[in-house]
Amino acid sequence: MIQKYHVEGYEQFCEFMKKFTSTDEDIHIYFTGSKLPSGISWCSDCVKAKPIVEEALKHANPNSHFIVVDVGSREIWKDRNCPFRTDPKTRLLVIPTLMRWGHPQKLEGEQCEKSELVEMLFTDED
């Protein structure tokens, strides 16, 4: 069964990822805008991509991990010094971003709305 997690903000993300330093299991991370009080992300592209990512996740290796990371408010994300943008391990340019941790596979922005690409990222072998 795919293990699912949710973390909020950069500090929590860094702390959370320490437990995955020596695993050989697939780790997929979905970076998205934080939720408004309504429960919906402030990022309209993230809202569009979410159901596509969730549907494609059904095809992922059952022994994998899926982590949803809220990058923060619109103001935090738009700051060019946002740590998700500057950290060499994430180097986010846009949200949503879906990546396989520790590997080059990454989908950004509208790519996350294309079910065939998202499914390929979840099922692709190195």
Q: 57, 66 in Cβ contact below 8 A?
A: yes
Q: Judging by beta carbons within 10 Å of its beta carbon (0-12, 13-18, 19+), is residue 29 exposed, middle or buried?
A: buried
Q: Is 14 one of the annotated active-site residues of the chain?
A: no
Locate 48 and state its tokens.
Answer: 């569009």
Catalytic residue of the set 14, 43, 82, 112: 43
Query: Quick one: which of 29, 10, 30, 50 has its CA closest to 102?
Result: 29
The number of residues making up the chain comes to 126
Q: Judging by beta carbons within 10 Å of its beta carbon (0-12, 13-18, 19+), is residue 126 exposed, middle or buried?
A: exposed
Q: Is 46 one of the annotated active-site residues of the chain?
A: yes
Would you please indicate which residues are annotated as catalytic (active-site) residues? 43, 46
